[in-house]
Amino acid sequence: MRYTDPYGLDTTIAIARDTYTSNSVTGTISVSSDRIADTFSGYHLENRRPPNPQLPVPAGTYDAFVDQRAGRKDRIELFNVPNATDVQIHLGNFPNDAEGCFLPGTTRAADFVGNSARAMDAILDIVKRDGGKIKVIVSGGP
Amino acid sequence: MKTALIVLVSSVAILLGCAATSAQDRTGATIQAIPTAPTLDTYLGLRSAFHGDKDSCREVGANTSEASAVIVEMIEGGDAVALRAGLLVFRCWDGGLLGDFFRATGQYFDREPRGFVGLLDGYLMSRTDVQSLVATLPEGAVDDLDEQIRILRSRRASLASYSSFSWLATELENEALRREALKAQAR
């Protein structure tokens, strides 16, 4: 899926689910910007059974922002996820690193994504250099 | 007559004002009070105000990320009152904030395993809850399977003298073995 923004203001993060186990959902994550040429393609992992029964995140398009706190790597947080709060793209390797969030990586295996920090750095680099709005498009059922 | 009306209106206004602020004035009735005064009294105030439902989450301020994030940072730093407050209200939390809480409780367990296990007795917890509280690894260990295995085995060793947590020690070892298998696959 490719999202285009005629005003050149958006970074688009497309998350496409394609593999389901009893513990996790994995898929691809691709990031593009209409302002800069760099893109990122990698994988993502979600906890299939987080404590909030309304998660994983329903398929749809969400506005997002960079959540910055001292002492930890920045995160991308989605706005207006139905019946959920603090849904983010953040570091992690295994399903129990996520409570309804998306963990990015550059490799994947069953219930695992690898090189999460490298993937998060690449995503944040595009988002920050674009400097505009962020849209997260989630496809595939939870 | 006019004077009596003014007195009546003033009295009603004062009464309404008192009712509106009484909840906020109760010592420790919100989680915002914990960072200001991290004492057992403050925690007990929070405990008496919190009833475990969604409305209660709102009433004690546990539905806002900012106040809750401060509590989580305090737990990471080893604050026992903040840990008690977190164990009380963590079901109000979700997503990345809940994950941060579990990462913080794991780090608290690393510092003070005996104190942590002792505190758990005071709260109603499922095995899934306890596993998340102890087994979730710090963000600094992400992508470092050797470090993750080291932490998991250290936590397992800390549980060795608690027979009621032998199931959790087994889970921690299983997590370590999964990581060893991944390392072997990557070779």
CA distance to partner chain A, nearest, from residue B48 (Å): 25
Nearest residue of chain A to residue B140 (CA atoms): A72
Asked if A121 is an interface residue toward chain B (Cβ–Cβ < 8 A), one would say no
- Quick one: pLDDT at residue A9? 64
DSSP string across chain B: -HHHHHHHHHHHHHHHHHHHHHHHHSTT-STTHHHH--SHHHHHHHHHH--SSHHHHHHTTTT-HHHHHHHHHHHHTT-HHHHHHHHHHGGG--HHHHHHHHHHHHHHHHH-HHHHHHHHTTS---HHHHHHHHHPPPGGGTT-HHHHHHHHHHHHHHTTT-GGGHHHHHHHHHHHHHHHHHHHHH-
| pLDDT for the residue B186 | 82
Provide CB contacts within 8 A for B31, sequence distance 6+. B46, B60, B61, B62, B67, B68, B71, B85, B89
Cβ-Cβ contacts under 8 Å for B146 (sequence gap 6 or more): B183
Sign of CA dihedral B14, B20, B24, B29: positive
Task: Report residue A71's pLDDT band, with 50, 70 and 90 as the boundaries.
Answer: confident
**Region of poorest pLDDT, from A18-27, A82-91, B35-44:** B35-44
Residue A97 has pLDDT above 70, yes or no: yes
CA distance B174 to A132: 44
**A124 at the B interface (CB within 8 A)?**
no
Is the ipTM, as predicted for this complex, more than 0.90?
Answer: yes
Chain A residues closer than 8 Å to B182 by CB: 109, 112
Does B136 sit within 8 Å of A97, measured CB to CB? yes
Question: Which tens digit of pLDDT belongs to each residue from B93-102?
Answer: 999 999 999 9
Closest chain A CA to residue B76: A71
- Candidates B58, B76, B102, B139: best to mutate against A (most CBs of A within 10 A) is B139
A128 pLDDT above the threshold of 60: yes
From chain A, the residues in CB contact with B136 under 8 A are 96-97
Q: Which phi and psi (to 5°) does residue B137 adopt?
A: -95, 155
**Residue A41's closest CA among A117, A94, A119?**
A119
Using CA atoms, how far apart are residues A29 and A103, in angstroms rounded to an integer?
10
Q: What is the DSSP string of chain A?
A: -----TTS-EEEEEEEEEEE-SSEEEEEEEEEESSSS--EEEEEEEESS-SSTT-SPPSEEEEEEEE--TTS--EEEES--TT----EE---SSGGG-SS-BEEESEEETTEEE-HHHHHHHHHHHHHHH-SEEEEEEES--
| Residue segments in chain B with a per-residue pLDDT below the cut of 70 | 1-28
* Window A:61-80, CB contacts with B under 8 Å: 67, 69, 71-73, 75, 77
Pick from B119, B135, B172, B58: nearest CA to A99: B135
Average pLDDT over every residue of A83-111: 97
Q: What is the pLDDT of residues B25-69, one digit of tens each?
A: 444 488 999 999 999 999 999 999 999 898 999 999 998 778 899
Q: Which residues of B touch A52 (CB under 8 A)?
A: 94-95
Bridge partners, A113 (sequence order): A108
A to B CB pairs, distance under 8 Å: 79
**Looking at the partner chain, which of B95, B136, B137 has a beta carbon nearest the beta carbon of A100?**
B95
Q: In chain A, what percentage of residues exceed pLDDT 70?
A: 94
Over the Cα atoms of chain A, what is R_g? 14
Residue A133 has pLDDT above 60, yes or no: yes
Give the distance from residue A87's alpha carbon to the nearest chain B alpha carbon, in angstroms.
Answer: 5
Contacts of A75 in chain B (CB under 8 A): 96
